[in-house]
Structure 1
Amino acid sequence: MFLTIRYRHYIFILLIFLNRPLFAQKERYSDYYLIKRQYENLPENDSTALPLVKEYIDKAKTEKSYSKLVEGYKDGILYSACRNDKLNFSDSAIWAAKLAKDDNLIGRAYLTKGTVYYFNFKKYKLALDEFLIAYEYSKKNDDPYYKNKVAYLLGVVKSYIGHYDEALVLLKQTNTFFRTESGKVMHPNLRYGNIRGYYNSLHQMAVCYRNLGRPKSTDSLTNIGLSLTIGDKDFRQEYGYFLKEKGIHQFSAGDYRNSINSLKNAIASMASVNDFAWVTVCYSYIGKSYMEMGDMNNAMGYFQKVDSVFQKHDFILPELRKNYELLIDHYKRKGEYKKELYYTKELLKADRVIGRDFVYLSSKIHREYDTNALLEGKSRLEKRIAAGIWIIWVLASLAVILGIIMFFRLRTEKKISEKYKLLEQKILTGRNLDGKDERTKADHKLDIERKKVDELLHRLKDFEEKLAFLESGLTLHKLAAKFGTNYRYLSHVVNEYRGINFNKYLTELRIGYITDKLYNDKKYLHYKIEILAEECGIASRNNFSELFRDINGIRPTDFIKKRLEDIAEAENASE
């Protein structure tokens, strides 16, 4: 990403955005210039520059030169080694920009703070809040380069937090702009920024397409990026990003050796910046590649590198959560309970961070281990390690637990068998299986003509006998329309003559039909639950299972299992 470049590049380009010539003639011998030239060639994060930066800031405060004050605070961000100090300086830059009453300065100050959150903290939600403010201010700015810079950052952050479609809208815009601008004749430094913007927009689009499950689009953009950046020392970092995507594609294609090679080279290409987010992604896929090749030692080593980054920066991407599950499973199989406990605790911590920083994506993650299971595992492991000498008691406790489980399982099996037998009797005797109430009432008092009632009862009987209730999506209103009557009349007749409301009536007919099929036609026993639901006109698998249990007292899966057992037993007895 072209805001994950070294801060010196960022500040340099930002000065261009501000239309402030880097070596303005009128400032060449000013006091501000004389102070700045003493530290401006120091490397970023070199805190030895800070006393001089403070001198610059103090002078700007004394002279109430708020634009210079903003510049001083931004220098503080550049040379501070501590990220919390960077954040404090960025707050001060916003304060100074507001004193200057300059919308341009204010917007750029918010952009700078968002950059600190994005680059130094990897706190994308916080960065997004700042970038949105900068985006509003950018609308008042006539500089298209700056506008696209802000749009790019918004797109990047949106992609990180899972809003890929929204991100793509912004990234396609910036990709087009920077590609067009990079082909124009302009100052080399500004052209460099445009090219970098184009490459990084291209890369981030590839990331979005990958997460949206569109590999062809990802591969196309990745190949374009690789062809443009390979061998170019000025864009070695960008080459690393595209190489990362190539390595992920190779992993997905099962080309594990080449995936490892690509990802390792990608890490080397990104070494000039501390972009630990993408480095951890590379570690993860390298580890998974080794794992697929059966090299568990190397695999676990790379998963542990992901954990090391997490420990250092309190940051983890949602897609890396699976690493901890793999580590836990590995050490559980090896019986190394201390390591299993450690990574269980780490996964609990990772879940808290993911839930805090990636709210939208957190709900979409498939978790092999949920929080309750992890807490139970953590407690179990802590007790096992602390009380190793009491292993016999632990085993005895496990035996008791297993006994309880077996007891409850046998009791459950007994209940299922009893309910199955009751249902079987109903099927064999034909009692109420189709859901109809066989009782008749001669003295119903309805505000409907007797002739109309008889007509509706006749239609209902025909409806039942012709299995018309199997039609999917059938409702009271639809059936009334088919009968050519008022839906209220139909509802009253069903209530009075079937003894239940229409929805219950329809459900019992459908469940009765499919239950009869399951019992009498063996082929139905091999259908998936989804197919059984469709066969009887019920749209949802879950809804079907719940309705089947409510009416028959047993889940469809249990009924099928018991029926198959009965059939097998009967066939064995006949041999």
Structure 2
Amino acid sequence: MTIVKSILVASFILLSSYYLYAGEKNEYADIRKNYENLIRNDIRAIPYINEYIKKAKKELDYPKLVQGYRDAVLYNPSEYKKLAYADSTIYAALRSKDDDLITYAYLGKGIVYYFSFKKFKPALDQYVKAYRYSKNTKNEYLKYKVIYHLGVVKSYLGYYEEAIDHFNECIAFFERKTKDKLHPNILYDHQRGYLNSLHQITICYGNLQQYSKADSIVTVALSNIADNKDFLLEKSYFFKSKGILKFYQDNYEGAIVDFHQSLPEIIKTGDFEWVSIIYFYLGKCYLKYDTEKSIRSFQKVDSIFNRHHFVVPRIRSNYEYLINYYKKEKDIGQQLYYTNQLLKADSLISKDFTYLSSKIHKEYDRQSLLDDKKYLLQTNHNRTLLTITFFVLTFIFLLLFILHYRKERNSTIKYKLLQEKFNAANSVEKGKGKSLIPVSVSKKMILSVEIIKELTEKLHAFEKNNEFIQKGLTQRKLALKLKTNTYYLSTFINETKGINFNRYIGEMRIHYITVLIYSHKKYLNYTIEALAEECGISTRQSFSDLFFEFNGMRPKDFIRKRKEEVDNS
């Protein structure tokens, strides 16, 4: 938990830019003037940064390319893009073979892991790499920034004694530099580094229960910046520390005042970790005075946990308070919800805080929580089952209704289209099987005029007498019947009908039986097999498929719609 959020990250990058790039070429400086005064995550900087990076790549100027990528990390609002640009920074820095640039690159990636993703172990890995490259650096500011961040991660992982050593080194360095005659901007950043180190060491002393040491440091820090408006955020963090110390001194009213004084700036900077910790301590303070305010504070901690999927060990008991409260209220639903939340919190703690998780005293051990969860789930089972059953049945009913409605609508549309087809052919004698397939003679017809005339007359008679309903009718049989050969017959049908023999016979049969069903009531009572037999089709399935292919609806649906029409008439 640290003061150094967006403002620190921004000042760190800008200050390191001052150290490394004070003498950069005018053309690069001109590009950076377009965005260097913008605030962190301001997307307006991106086009200029892209221009800067493009120029550095073209000129193979790796120090400038490092600067460009580090600017991209600073100004890009996407956390994942920050990480990608941090990788690019490392690539460019390694190509430069400059240890200081490589140190900045690894440190920058560690900061992204730490501040943007709260992934402490990957952050620590990057800080260690930065430390290796910083051993021989002449840039003291860079060296102690690395030491500082190593201390922050060690503090998070519970290695407080080791972290204190880091922060004592940083305090000595930054305090000494604040007494030097430096440029105002550089002096400001050393003052900030000094205050940040003081804040971090108070956290370590607090966790080691050395409250008197922590209290004396907080008092000194607040006295130094009491009237300084440049350090409002730092002041807020020290008030937060002061509130926690008052809580452990049983001064709950005083702690509440300090916590509320610290919250606005910390919320503003987006430090959700310390915001959740402050709400946790507020909840514990309000337990003494106002149960409703206490529960609301604990619920705010849960809200932050849901939003950021992050929790620190010290606020684990937040869920124990909520579980006990709703157990007394006999609210099984809420009790089960917060039990699940506690299990999730334990899982995260065990991953990121292995050292601490083994030392935390848990009033609710994991097995007990799992047993409670099982009991609550069983108690709530019938209610949940009934609710699920109701919604499932409702969904199925609605789905079936929608499908039935759509099927009926489609059947009605197809039926009306067939009606229009019959009305268009009302000059044809009912049941005689007149083909709806037009005859047209192509100019490129390869058959002689005599053959065409002969086949036209014979095929007309074939259609008029409904001879196409003969079972097992093949092209060869029909050619013999018409006293021609299969080549002439096939060519004639293809050229005049525009379809092959099998489709021609299928269409004639389906049209024939469709007219019969539509025109004669008795066919409405025929089975599908009988209708197939009537028009010369061998199987029920083949008949149903052909009927659907040519009419757009199944024969059973056509019969049903026709029956409805007849009954209504």
Q: TM-score range by the shorter chain?
A: 0.5 to 0.7
- The aligned runs of 1:225-244 (5 Å cut-off) are 225-244=221-240
What is the CA–CA distance in structure 2 between the aligned matches of 1:17 and 1:286, rounded to whole Å? 43
Number of the residue aligned with 1:308: 303
2-structure distance, mates of 1:63, 1:227: 51
Match of 1:311, SS?
helix
CA-to-aligned-CA distance 1:113-156 (integer Å, 9 cap, x gap): 11111222222222111111111111020122221111111111
Q: What secondary structure does 1:270 align onto?
A: helix
The equivalent position to 2:96 in structure 1, one of 100, 109, 113, is 100
Cα 1:184–1:35 shift into 2, 3 Å: closer
Distance in structure 1 (CA, Å) of the matches to 2:3 and 2:263: 17
Aligned in 2, Cα 1:50/1:382: closer, same or farther, shift over 3 Å? farther
Please give the alpha-carbon distance, in whole angstroms, between the structure 1 residues aligned to 2:148 and 2:312.
Answer: 20
1:90-118 CA-partner distances (Å, limit 9, x unpaired) = 11111111111211111110000111112
Q: Distance in 1 between matches of 2:122 and 2:322?
A: 31
Match in the other structure for 2:332: 337
Q: Distance in 1 between matches of 2:147 and 2:130?
A: 10
Q: CA deviation at 1:174?
A: 0.8
CA–CA distance in structure 2, aligned partners of residues 49 and 382 of structure 1: 52
Distance 1:382 1:57 in 2: 57
Shift of 1:220: 0.7
2:13 corresponds in structure 1 to 11
Following superposition, the deviation at residue 358 of structure 1 comes to 1.1
1:160-218 CA deviation, whole Å, 9 max, x = no partner? Answer: 11100001111111111111110111111111111111111111111111111111111
Deviation string 1:361-407 (CA, Å, 9 cap, x unpaired) is 1111111222222222223223322313999xxxxxxxxxxxxxxxx
* Equivalence for 1:527: none
The size of the alignment, in residue pairs, is 384
Instruction: State the 1:27 CA deviation.
Output: 2.7
Matching residue within 30, 33, 39 for 2:29 = 33
Per-residue deviation, 1:272: 4.0
Q: 2:201 aligns with which of 205, 224, 231?
A: 205
Percent identity, aligned pairs only, is 43
What is the TM-score normalised by the length of structure 2?
Answer: 0.65
User: CA–CA distance in 2 between the matches of 1:309 and 1:43?
Assistant: 25
| Contact preservation (8 Å) 1:277, 1:316 | yes
Question: Which residue does the alignment assign to 2:72?
Answer: 76
Q: Deviations over 1:417-438 (max 9, x none)?
A: xxxxxxxxxxxxxxxxxxxxxx
Q: 1:136 aligns with which of 132, 149, 167?
A: 132
Q: Deviations over 1:505-542 (max 9, x none)?
A: xxxxxxxxxxxxxxxxxxxxxxxxxxxxxxxxxxxxxx
Q: In the alignment, is residue 353 of structure 1 matched against residue 354 of structure 2?
A: no
Q: Does the alignment pair 1:371 with 2:369?
A: no
Over 3 Å counting, the alpha-carbon distance change for 1:128 and 1:327 in structure 2 is: same
Distance of aligned partners of 1:2 and 1:138 in 2 relative to their CA distance in 1, 3 Å threshold = farther
Which is greater in Rg? Answer: 2
**Residue of 171, 174, 188 corresponding to 1:175:** 171
Q: Does structure 1 conserve the Cα–Cα contact (< 8 Å) formed by 2:280 and 2:301?
A: yes
Residue pair 2:107, 2:126 contacting (<8 A) in 1 also: yes
- Residue identity in the other structure for 2:124: L
Deviations 1:405-462 (A, max 9, x none): xxxxxxxxxxxxxxxxxxxxxxxxxxxxxxxxxxxxxxxxxxxxxxxxxxxxxxxxxx
Q: Which residue of 2 aligns with 1:111?
A: 107
Counting only pairs closer than 5 Å after superposition, residues 408-423 of structure 1 correspond to structure 2 as none
**1:383 & 1:84 partners in 2: Cα distance?**
42
How has the CA–CA distance of structure 1 residues 35 and 184 changed in structure 2, closer, same or farther, with 3 Å as cutoff? Answer: closer
Q: Would you say the 8 A contact 2:32–2:49 is kept in 1?
A: yes
2:322 to 318, 327, 341: 327
Measured in 2, the distance between the counterparts of 1:75 and 1:3 equals 18
Amino acid at match of 1:81: P
CA distance in 1, matches of 2:181, 2:92: 35
Instruction: Tell whether the 8 Å contact from 1:226 to 1:239 is kept in structure 2 after alignment.
Output: yes
Match of 1:398 in 2: none
CA distance in structure 2 between the partners assigned to 1:108 and 1:137 by the alignment: 9
Q: 1:286 touches 1:302 (CA, 8 Å); kept in 2?
A: yes
Q: State the AA in 2 paired with 1:316.
A: V
Instruction: Output the amino acid matched with 1:139.
Output: K
Distance 1:115 1:75, change over 3 A: same
| Residue 231 to residue 269, structure 1, CA distance change in 2 (3 Å) | farther
Which of these residues, 151, 156, 166, is aligned with residue 155 of structure 1? 151
The offset of 1:2, in angstroms, is 5.5
Q: Name the residue aligned to 2:446.
A: none
Q: State the distance in 1 between where 2:186 and 2:39 align.
A: 21
Distance 2:223 2:93 in 1: 42
* Greater CA drift, 40-49 or 99-108: 40-49
Tell me which residue corresponds to 2:251.
255
**Residue 269 of structure 2 aligns to which amino acid in structure 1?**
V
Cα–Cα, structure 1 residues 184 and 34, in superposed 2: closer, same or farther, change >3 Å? closer
Q: Secondary structure at the match of 2:287?
A: helix
* Distance in 2 between residues matched to 1:55 and 1:377, nearest whole Å: 59
CA distance in 2, matches of 1:229, 1:152: 21
